[in-house]
Amino acid sequence: MKAVILDAATLGDDIDLTPLRDEVDELDVYAITSLSERIPRLAGARVAIVNKVILDAEVLEALPDLELICVLATGTNNIDMEAAKRQGIDVRNVTAYGTQSVAQHTLMLMLALANRLPLYQRDVVAGRWGESPFFCLMDHRTLQLADKHLVIVGRGELGGKVAQFAEAFGMRVSFTARPGNEANDDRPSLSDLAPDADILSLHCPLTDATRHLVDAALLARMKRDALLINCARGGIIDEEAALDALRKGRLGGLGVDTLPVEPPRNGHPLLAALSEPLNLIVTPHNAWITPEARANVVRLTVDNLRRWRQTGE
């Protein structure tokens, strides 16, 4: 059985692919694959292993030998699922591989924003500490996490882990009802919880119901010192509205690990704003990249291959 990895570079060069090689007769590994290289590289393969390479209907229809697509991530929006179904191609993803890693990153953003790290780091670099008339700087109001209210959107494994970490800091945690399904959920809606939130953290998928879930109207109802963290998907918040609120002092801090278009080759307003004196952190979609999490991706993909070969389930 021949398998092909089209974008192995997304796993990094320090992750052992031997477990995958042991599951197939032949494994071709490509670091990066362009759109024009997809069909020739997958020709004759029964298994395609991809992270973000787009496999649309045109590509799938040109690959009669393809039987399985293993996605090295949770999201499958890069695969034409209807076309795969029509052609009898099984699609399997991996989940919960980076729970510890992303939860840790979320808490890092939370702690850094609460302590106004971007602002104080800027002051130190500018030499303002050395100019202080007394021993410290205290120009930026910080936030003690103990007894503060963390509101989480997304009560999956990741949201639960973030809640566990937050509770260790003495925070009070609430989960919102699932966006788009509030009528069938006994939890309060985000709209109900937002005015009392000291921190709002997003851990839900990007869907029609969650696109711009946090918009200008919701931001206007939140506390002026509230922190907003998005380690889910770009576009769940209206990034420009959040930036406007931050600039106008109607938001205490903003931390994002994702943007609507990645990589942001044409820039983004949040990236341009990093040069401003704002309590703003943007990380390059790297919350998930601990070696342990990336090794989990390989392990779970091997499990998918084994189950497919043994049971077809």
Catalytic residues: 233, 262, 285
Whether the CB-CB separation of 189 and 176 falls below 8 Å is answered with: yes
Sign of CA dihedral 201, 96, 86, 31: positive
Cis geometry, peptide bond prior to residue 19 (ω within 30 degrees of 0): no
Q: Say how far apart CA 109 and CA 116 lie, in whole Å.
A: 10
Fill in the amino acid letter for 20. L
* 183/185 Cα distance (integer angstroms): 6
